[in-house]
Structure formats: C-alpha cells, structure tokens
Structure 1
Amino acid sequence: MQPLHDIRVLGVTVFLAGPFLCMNLARFGAEVIKIEVPKRGDPVRGNGPFAGPNGIHSTRQTDQDISTRFLKRTQGVKSISLNLKQAEGRDLFLELAKQSDVVIENLAPGSMQRLGLGYDDVSQANPGIIYCSISGYGQTGPYASWRAHDPQIQGMSGIMDMNGNSDGPPTRIGIFISDLVTPMFAAYSILAALRHKEQTGQGQYLDASMMDTIATLMFMEPLEEAIEQGEPMRTGNDSRGGPTGLYHTQDADIIITVASEEQWQRLCRALEAPELKEDERFATNQARNVNLDALRLEIQQRLGKLTREVAVEQFEKHDVPCAPVRSVSEVMADAHFYQRGTLRPMWHTTLPEPIGGVTAGFPVMFSGQPLPDLSGAPTLGMHNHEIYGKLLGLSGEHIQRLQTQGIV
C-alpha cells in the first residue's frame, strides 16, 4: 500500500525535524529526494555512534561505517548532492522542483530565500508546489532569527517549567520532542495542502514552528488554572489531583491512574484496604486532593509490601489502570513491538544484513495491507545518476562535468 506513490518530495533538510518528516512521507510511498552538500552531506553523517559490518561503535572504523543517527532518520530516502550556492546548482534545483509536488526545508529562516530558492522563487517555476518550512520559532515574529535546536525550544516554550519535581529545577524531556512532534503536524498539513491542490490546483506555503507546536500541546491542559491558584507547574511523577502517580513495590516501580470515584473504589479493593474508603480524609475527591500527601503515603505503605508482579496482578484484577515502569532495555527486548512492526532492524543500503540496533517502524496498522518496508539509508549522492540522468535527462558526461566543478 503506497498512497503517496505519485508524490515527489525535495528535501533540503538537516539534523532531525526535516529528515524525520521526509522519512515519514517515504513510508507512504512518496519518492523523497534528499538534497545534500557535495562531499559533506547532512552534518549528522559525521555524528556517532557508527554502524558497520563490525557492529555499532563510537568511532569510524571502515568506509562503510555510517552514523546510527543518520540511519534512523533517512530510511527509504534517496540522496543527491547539489551545491545550491552556485547558479547552475540553483537552476538544477528549480528544474527538479518543476517535477515535484512538495519542497521541505528546515534551514535557518531566510536561508533558502538568500539562495534564490524561497517559496516565491520556487512557486514561479511550479505554481502548484507545496512548500513547507520548519524552524524553531517560525518564519515571522520577534524570535524568527534566533537559532534553536530542541533544548532551546523546550526552554522557550515553557514545557521545561512543567517537567521535573516541584522542589527541583525545570527538566528537559528526554527525547527531542519538538523535533519529532512538529514534523507530525507538518506531515498532515502537507497532506491537507495536497488535497486542497487536488480541488483547486493551487500550491501553498506552510510555516511550521517548533515552539508553537509545543505550546499548542501544553495548553490543552488547564495550566492557566494552576498559575491563577499559585500551584507549582512541576508535579514530577505525580498528578495535579488524586493519587495518580509513581509508587515503589518491593522490587520495582509501577505507575497507576486513579481519575474517578469509581477508580478510587476499585483501588481500595485492589489494596484490600476498606479502611481507606472509610477515612474522612479521603471520603471525597476534594478531600483526597486536600490530603494528597497523606493519601499517597498510605498507598505507598501498602504497595511497599508487595512485589511488582503481585501489585500489577491485583490492579489488573480490579480494573485499576496500572503498568510497570520498564527500562529501555526491557522495551527493546519486548517481542510485542517487533510483531507489530513498531521497532525494526536498521538497514544500510551497502550492507546485505541488518545492522545491530533498532529503528522506528510506524505505530499505526492498516487493515488493507501493511505499509512497505523502507529501504536502508543512502550513501551521499547515491542517487545522482538516477535523478539527474533519468529525471532531468542529463548525460553521464554532463553529470561528470557537474561533479568536477563541485556542483554535485
């Protein structure tokens, strides 16, 4: 099943947000062509650890070694080299854009315009183009010129103020959340723009801001109420209300959710603690919130006498939402993810066998038929002859001249 089989994407993308967007469009069958700087490529190509025939290691060992970061972000993508700072390189890009449906870039705002390849320039060559820019703060506004990666966005967006313990400092979320979630918003915005183009023939410019994305996620929650009431932004592993949170058993941690009166009643039965229901401090949801520290202590004292296995079994038996807090190693070893295709082996196009480690699959299963497996990550300029030769009709001698002149 390749619903985007007739869509061609040009990606002037580096690091994570842009490449992640491109890879996910490739999952649905789009032909995604990654534009890279000749001889250097995406900066991530030089970032370890590296994978090769001898496994994964911290430094390069052979010519086949490739960054595992690059592997995880460019599965199924084609690579061509092109110097956009040279006039002939710019012209070649515009020729490619004429035969493409989507352009994606995540350079610093204004970079593509200075190259003469901004939306206005490209749309003159192809009025129907969907052109998507991803940046830290957006193409407009007071912060547009500020440089940013995910850590700066987490700080500026306020999400670090929500994360961490109430008596501790703001804490960065462990994954590059703005680099990963913004491309998701961008992906379905591109699909909406393509649908609009089908109906009207009109192309469109999409301005995706990483900070704006995180802000829209945060303010789904009633943060303004917490601010008004002077409550701490950071709640750590606990909840703003009720005994939802992290608890310690004899041998491991678990996390439970108690978000309703019915769940509270079931929790008391699971703990075999009818006395908690009869305690006036915990008789109502409001009373439980007022006496939350005391309530959590009561629950912890009872859970501390059980093993994780027994505690989870008890909560499951009484239909209380509960799960063990697992290590990343436990998750990687769980057959569930491989059966569903959520985690997959990493591939590199030059090697016949999967490389050690895992990369992400796609978390949605389709009833019709599965999405196709993506090919491995490309070497730099691997598809030059295919794209310049077959798509633009350039001869081998022409491509050789471009290479000699440093254009490709």
Structure 2
Amino acid sequence: MENQSGKSSGFKYRLFGDPIDCGEIDRIVAWFKNEPQFEHNTLINQFEMRWNEWLGRKFSIFCGSGSCASLLMYNVLLLSGRLKNKKVIVPATAWSTTVSPAIQLGFEPVMCDSDPETFGLDLKHLESLLLSHNPGVVMMSQVLGIPNRMDEILSLKKRYEFILLEDASSSLGSVRKGVKVGTFGDLASFSFHYGNQLTTIDGGMVSTDDPLYYHLLLMLRNNGSSEDLPPEVHEVLVRQYDIDDTETPVVFYEPGYNFKSTNLNAFIGLMQMEKVDWSINRRSDNYRHYLRNFANIRVQKADDPDATVSNLHFVILCKDRLERLAVERSLAEKQIETKIFSAGNLGRHPFWTHRYGHPKLANADRLFETGLLIPNCPTMVQGNIDFISEVVLQAIKR
C-alpha cells in the first residue's frame, strides 16, 4: 500500500525509496527562509540548462509532470506542420499517459506488441504495422531502464520516414552503446515523479534538438503565449500577425496550457542533479546483481550487454498467474513490496479496449499476466538483493 508521499507502509524493502535525503530537506528549508521567488523564473532556466549539459541535447523545457511532457510532445507535432498523417504507432508496454494524448488529440493510434526481452517495441510487429499503416509518428517507451533495440528502430525510421517520440520517463540515465536514453527521439519526455531516478517531487521535461519544436513547447507550456520565446522569435510572430505589441503585452498565439513548474521544484531538481550519476550507477549495479541471481528465470534484459541500465524496478516473469501469486505472497510475508506488471499490456485496459477492442499481442499479454516488479533502489546493497532473490527462488521452487 502506498501513501501520497510516495512512502509505502508495512514494507521493509520498498519499490520506491526516499530520493530526497535529510541534507536536501535542510537545504530546502534554508531556501524557504531566504524569501525566494516561487513562480516560474531564473532557477527553472538554470535547471533546464544544467539538464541539457548532462543529457547532451540542445533544448529542454521543464513542466509540471511527465504526463504534461507527453501531452506537449504530441501537441507540438500537431502544430509543427510536419506530420504526413495522424496515424501513430504506440507501445503496448508503457504508462497510460504515453498513449492517452494520442487519443485526446485526435490521432489514430495503433498498438504495437512488446519485445519479449527489452519490453520495448517488437521489431517484427513494428515493421508489419509500418508497412500496413505508413504512420507519421512512432511513440516508443524505454521501459524501466532497459533501452529498446535502437539500431533497428533508427534504421526503420530512416526507411519509413516517421517522426520518433521517445518516452524515457522510467529510464532516465540509461546508456546504450554510449548513447543516453532520451537522445534517440526527435522529442523525448522524462518524469521527475517522486521515487524516480531524479525527482522534483513531481515534474517533467521535454528535450529536443529542433528549434521549431522548442519554440512551440515554450508557447504551449505558458498558455500559448510568446512570453518565454527568444526576442527575435517573438518579433517574427508580432510581424506575422500584425500585433501592436505596445498595446497588448500578452498575446496568445497557440491554444496552450498552464504546464509551468515553479522555482521550488527547479531548486530540488538542481540539488538532485548533484547525485543523479551516483543513483544511476547504483541502480545499474543492482540490476546486474539481480541478473546473476536470476540466471535461470525469465527477466527483462537489455540487448547491449555493456549498457548502463538505470533500472527503476526489476521485472521477473513467472510461469503463470498462480506462480506469480505465490511469489507475491512470499515476498509480502518478508516485508518486500511488489506490484504486478499491469502496465505490461495497455491493450488490456478499459481506456483502450472500449475504444479499439482487444488487440492480439502475445508478448505483452505474457508481461501483463506473469510480470512482477521487485525493488531496485540506489540505497540497496548486495545483501538486500540476495535476500529478495532467495525469497523469489524459494517461492518458485515450491
């Protein structure tokens, strides 16, 4: 059971740890005492610049949540004039808000099955959908720290000429063949929800290298106005729409949202950046230790053996639902928190089925029916992982 603070009650080993430590809390209190400016301002710009340097992208905008970031990505494409059509391939294994903006904004989503190892897009099914639908967009989700098979996906992108959106919300910091997750897509989204690899309590980021997308993101985040645009871009709009800028200080050029965050959240984000690499490396080390312990069990795996896997939770695949229930009960008895992998197949959830029916997705069905999440927190040590692993292995033997 999880309360609203992100802390779980009754568990010694939790799926989400405490990402904000006592020292950071003291710094937040001190910041409050200095009568800070809370609204959207300079600290947000500093956080965005620091993020760009760390990630290796040209432009980023900080917003209220990862869900806001996902919605902004889809909306930018609608306004960009670059879509060849409104068909979009969406992943079966993801969070609901990876897919729901496509429904809300009038796209034509088609669901792709999941890779049985990475849990990303299944390459064979993806190419079949590309051939039959010729979509303008493909949305991929980097699932729980494990990157998709990116060499093949980027090759398909070049061949079929689609725009690639990348949901990196649960994989912040993973690196595949020297390339960070969040730099593969034309636009990429991140979540800073409590318990993720980096938290601002809640928040999100959209990153891109494209100036048109960036300028649209700036307007959409701030109610559709030009207030956050570079002066030269603002002037282009003033001339284009023949605006008397002296008489109308705020002009709304696009139908936008108030998705702005605050300096408080940015202050926390800047603090978290100081330890984000430590957190990522700890999660990756823990992931590899789990892999060794579960050498004879089906688990989520990266296709690059040298990848840095910023694993949010470790996923095991049980033989069937009964075995999963037995493992779940054994873990609960030892005060180890788990969750079934309900996001393993979004095509089994009512928000999808009552609109589009039940897709036949064999791999995603397996994840939905047998997948189980177990803890991977950066503060865990090898003894913790060995203990959790042994509980799982003994439950399976029985």
TM-score tier by shorter-chain length is under 0.3
Structure showing greater Rg: 1
Q: TM-score, normalised by structure 1?
A: 0.26
Q: TM-score, normalised by structure 2?
A: 0.26
